[in-house]
Amino acid sequence: MQPTRREKAPRPPANIVIVDDEISSVIVLEAAVKDLGKVTSTTTPEDALKLIRDIQPEVVLMDIDMGEYNGVELCKQIKNAPETAKTAVIFVTSHNNPDLEYFSLDSGGIDFLTKPINLKTCKMRVANQLALRYYAEDLENAKKALFNEKEHFKATLNSIGDGVIATDAEGFVTFLNPIAQHMTGMKESEAVGCHIETVMKLKDATTHEKAINPAVAALYEERVVGMALNCQLYSHTGNVYRVEDSAAPIVDANGNVTGSIVVFHDVSESIAMAVKMNHLANNDQLTGLPNRILLHDRLEQAIKISKQNKLMTALMLIDIDNFKYLNDSLGHHIGDMLIKQVARRLDSIMDANCTLARVGGDEFVLLIPNVQAVRILNSIASDIQASMQKPFVLEDQEYNLSVSIGISINPTDAETEGHMMRNADVAMFRAKKQGKQRYCFFSQNLEQDLHERIELEKILREAIDKNSVEVFFQPQINLTTQKINSAEALARLKDKNGNYIPPPKFIALAEELGLIDQLGQQILRKSCIAAKEWYDRGKEIRVCVNVSALQFCAPGYFEQVFSVLEETNLRTSMLELEVTETLLMQDINLVESVLRDLSLTGIFIAIDDFGTGYSSLSYLKRLPVDVLKIDQSFVFDMLQDKQSLDIVKTISDLGHSLGLNLVGEGIETAEHEEILKSFGCQIGQGYHYHKPLAKKDFETIIL
């Protein structure tokens, strides 16, 4: 069976050799010591030396006077041979002569027995010698074990990755391992004997003031001491390490402190890593500015401190105008570079106690603590606007940018950080709506707007989800035949009181919220279903569906339209898409290619509200357009305003020269109709004929 623990081997019996030429003496001596070990005797002294060398006994009992052999001489020889040098020789003699006793002890003998032998005394004397011999052996073994253990610890300390320094009770170094030598820049030979504070120079990493060595504290306080956080070790070779660890006192068996041990390691790398991680978590990768997380923290702090100081905290949400367009048309690489340059410009004009954060693609937030007066904010916002005036230069190209800014103030308009962010957002939207490149403070009106917006968002999302957006149809009249050949589909949404919400309102919101695709798709589908139904009932009414520029430019628009036509089985010529002039100001290549695809299928393309935008004539020539819809504002005014009348005439002439159909919108009176007709306008739409009608009302007219 495998032993469970290593047992100490039992000590073998002692060897005792008796040398005496008198057999009677031998018998007595054997009787005396027989219990103490293995006894070998000889009465022939000439054999004794060989016997003793062979056995190497612990004790020899030796007669002095053995005829021509002298025990003293024999003893000298035993003591001189290395293998028997430790053998204890006890002389036995019948002479009672002090000189002889001296000589025998001087020859290396250890004890002296006189005959006649007292058995008990003899046994005791031999037993004492054996005990001494064993004690010496144990001591020797203990010394060896201690040495081995010391070597073992040394090897361990030398191979571990931490620095280890040992000191005595006064703090003077007694040992340091190779790592400690490397980090302190002192060899063991230089450091041992020096005080720990000389060897290990510690400073506070922030204040650079001397830090107390933990060994000193451990010795003084007689307890384990952790190294102060934020500690730096200055090596004697000029290196600096961030270190961390502890010291402990060494206490002896009586509880006295005899020294100390400091264990330490280099944490420079892990601290650098922690700093980096912290930076990554709190900062925007592209610009290096604080991100939303860090902003949140700082805002919380700023509100608290400003409150204590009885001052205000302001938040400015800065959004780059038309950035999406720039990014899409120039590519993300240029977009990223622009963002970086904008960040740099904003950062350069910012006060040190402000925080500039990047919180979204093209959105920055400037946090301004301790604001004394609102006019300061006016001037900061103006400075920001002014800083954008100079063109941005990227790869030898100049780009002009502007920003819109929304401002929220705590505690004037918002109590919490969440409210501040939301209010700044609402104010920023207002600035955009007012024409961009301006700043706007949050106000009570905006608060009201905000509530309406939240309510409207709810209604809109619900209607999209439930497929309950209504579509009204407004007849378009052939001015020559007075027949209805087409109708404009107009989206309708009711508020919670059952009143219709103006379409421009919810359409703009759907665009902001990214819901315009879904909304547009729903209206298109409902319009096509209706047109197919009428067609099947023998009425060819083309539906004219409005398309938002955002919806049109989204990827997959053509496929969306086509799939609805397939699904509803409507002929392409029964569908007209109304795009606005703003669409023509987007990426013209994209717009042209999608329009061409649509037109090739047979779908009609109309330009809505023509005359209000800035579409260039050259574009108009290039694009596959079928219809121009003269904006109703000119039609309203043309009776009183000569300029409007001229515009209507010019648009009509333009339409004719490009071979396009003309639709006059907003015809409210017979007079309107008369003028438009005289200009050659073929189609009319307006309250003079019909208001937009619910599907069933529309059907009572056409069917």
Tokens of 123: 């046994």
Q: Which does 504 bind (CB under 5 to 8 A by kind): Mg ion, ligand C2E, none?
A: ligand C2E
Tokens of 4: 């469970």
Amino acid 453 reads R
Torsions phi, psi for 655 (to 5 deg):
-55, -45
Alpha-carbon span 124 to 453, nearest angstrom: 113
Binding span for Mg ion by CB under 5 A among 246-254, 340-348, 420-428, 571-579: 571-579
Find the shortest distance in angstroms from Cβ 619 to ligand C2E: 20
> Could you tell me if 405 and 428 are in contact, meaning their C-beta atoms sit under 8 angstroms apart?
yes
Find the shortest distance in angstroms from Cβ 665 to Mg ion: 5
Non-local (6+) Cβ contacts of 688 within 8 A are 667, 668, 669, 670, 672, 673
Alpha-carbon span 269 to 400, nearest angstrom: 44
Alpha-carbon span 346 to 383, nearest angstrom: 9
Torsions phi, psi for 77 (to 5 deg):
-65, -40
Alpha-carbon span 573 to 602, nearest angstrom: 5
The smaller minimum CB distance to ligand C2E, of residues 106 and 671, is found at 671
Find the shortest distance in angstroms from Cβ 398 to ligand C2E: 34
Evaluated on CA atoms 595, 598, 602, 606, the torsion sign reads negative
Peptide bond into 45 cis (omega under 30): no
Interface positions, 14-73, toward ligand C2E (CB under 6 A): none
Alpha-carbon span 477 to 545, nearest angstrom: 16
The smaller minimum CB distance to ligand C2E, of residues 163 and 686, is found at 686
Alpha-carbon span 402 to 392, nearest angstrom: 11
User: If you write DSSP's letter for every residue of 437-452 in order, what string do you get?
Assistant: SSEEE--HHHHHHHHH
Size of the site for Mg ion (CB under 5 A): 5
Q: Are strands 257-266 and 163-168 parallel, antiparallel or unpaired?
A: antiparallel
Alpha-carbon span 490 to 524, nearest angstrom: 10
Does residue 608 interact with ligand C2E by CB under 6 A?
yes
Find the shortest distance in angstroms from Cβ 507 to Mg ion: 11
Does residue 578 interact with Mg ion by CB under 5 A?
yes
Find the shortest distance in angstroms from Cβ 620 to ligand C2E: 18
Q: Which does 692 bind (CB under 5 to 8 A by kind): ligand C2E, Mg ion, none?
A: ligand C2E
Tell me, letter by letter, the H, E, C secondary structure of 45-71. Answer: HHHHHHHHHHHCCCEEEEECEECCEEH
Nearest 5 degrees, angle CA 687-CA 688-CA 694? 40
The smaller minimum CB distance to Mg ion, of residues 290 and 611, is found at 611
Find the shortest distance in angstroms from Cβ 444 to Mg ion: 34
The smaller minimum CB distance to Mg ion, of residues 266 and 578, is found at 578
> Could you tell me if 29 and 20 are in contact, meaning their C-beta atoms sit under 8 angstroms apart?
yes
Q: Binding mask 460-499 vs ligand C2E (x if CB under 6 A, - otherwise)?
A: --------------x---------------xx--------
Torsions phi, psi for 288 (to 5 deg):
75, 0
Find the shortest distance in angstroms from Cβ 667 to Mg ion: 12
The smaller minimum CB distance to ligand C2E, of residues 256 and 468, is found at 468
Does residue 518 interact with ligand C2E by CB under 6 A?
no
The smaller minimum CB distance to ligand C2E, of residues 442 and 610, is found at 610
Find the shortest distance in angstroms from Cβ 699 to ligand C2E: 18
Binding span for Mg ion by CB under 5 A among 43-51, 200-208, 357-365, 545-553: 545-553
Q: Which does 313 bind (CB under 5 to 8 A by kind): ligand C2E, Mg ion, none?
A: none
Interface positions, 560-579, toward ligand C2E (CB under 6 A): 578
The smaller minimum CB distance to ligand C2E, of residues 43 and 612, is found at 612
Does residue 608 interact with Mg ion by CB under 5 A?
yes
Binding span for Mg ion by CB under 5 A among 323-331, 478-486, 517-525, 574-582: 574-582
Interface positions, 640-699, toward Mg ion (CB under 5 A): 665
Query: How many Cβ atoms are within 10 Å of 541's Cβ, its own excluded?
Result: 22
Does residue 546 interact with ligand C2E by CB under 6 A?
yes
Q: Which does 565 bind (CB under 5 to 8 A by kind): Mg ion, ligand C2E, none?
A: none
Interface positions, 667-686, toward ligand C2E (CB under 6 A): 667-668, 685-686
Classified as helix, coil or strand, 269 is helix
| Alpha carbon 179 to chain centroid, angstroms | 32
Tokens of 562: 């086509």
Q: Binding ligand C2E by CB under 6 A: which of 117, 692, 693, 698?
A: 692
Tokens of 196: 């720990």
| Kind plus residue range of the DSSP H or E element containing 347 | helix 332-348
> Could you tell me if 62 and 71 are in contact, meaning their C-beta atoms sit under 8 angstroms apart?
yes
Residue nearest to ligand C2E (CB): 686
Interface positions, 546-565, toward Mg ion (CB under 5 A): 546
Binding span for ligand C2E by CB under 6 A among 182-190, 208-216, 250-258, 546-554: 546-554
> Could you tell me if 587 and 619 are in contact, meaning their C-beta atoms sit under 8 angstroms apart?
no
The smaller minimum CB distance to ligand C2E, of residues 12 and 498, is found at 498
Q: Binding mask 620-659 vs ligand C2E (x if CB under 6 A, - otherwise)?
A: ------------x---------------------------
Residue 578 bridge partners (DSSP) = 546, 606
Tokens of 77: 């020889």
Q: Which does 319 bind (CB under 5 to 8 A by kind): ligand C2E, Mg ion, none?
A: none
Secondary structure letter of residue 638 according to DSSP: T
The residue whose two tokens read 């596959």 is 624
Does residue 504 interact with ligand C2E by CB under 6 A?
yes
The smaller minimum CB distance to Mg ion, of residues 419 and 688, is found at 688
Find the shortest distance in angstroms from Cβ 691 to ligand C2E: 7
Binding span for Mg ion by CB under 5 A among 8-16, 114-122, 355-363, 577-585: 577-585
Secondary structure letter of residue 9 according to DSSP: P
Alpha-carbon span 533 to 541, nearest angstrom: 10
Does residue 548 interact with ligand C2E by CB under 6 A?
yes
Does residue 609 interact with ligand C2E by CB under 6 A?
yes
The smaller minimum CB distance to Mg ion, of residues 63 and 609, is found at 609
The b-or-e profile of 389-413 (16+ CB within 10 A means b, else e) is eeebebeeeeeebebbbbbbbbebb
Does residue 507 interact with ligand C2E by CB under 6 A?
yes
Query: How many Cβ atoms are within 10 Å of 590's Cβ, its own excluded?
Result: 15
Q: Binding Mg ion by CB under 5 A: which of 609, 660, 684, 692?
A: 609
Does residue 581 interact with Mg ion by CB under 5 A?
no
Secondary structure letter of residue 672 according to DSSP: H
Residue 487 bridge partners (DSSP) = 475, 543
Find the shortest distance in angstroms from Cβ 681 to ligand C2E: 14
Does residue 502 interact with ligand C2E by CB under 6 A?
yes
Q: Which does 575 bind (CB under 5 to 8 A by kind): ligand C2E, Mg ion, none?
A: none
Find the shortest distance in angstroms from Cβ 330 to ligand C2E: 27
Enumerate binding residues for Mg ion (CB under 5 A).
546, 578, 608-609, 665
Sites of contact with ligand C2E (CB under 6 A): 474, 490-491, 502-504, 507, 523, 546-548, 578, 608-609, 632, 665-668, 685-687, 692
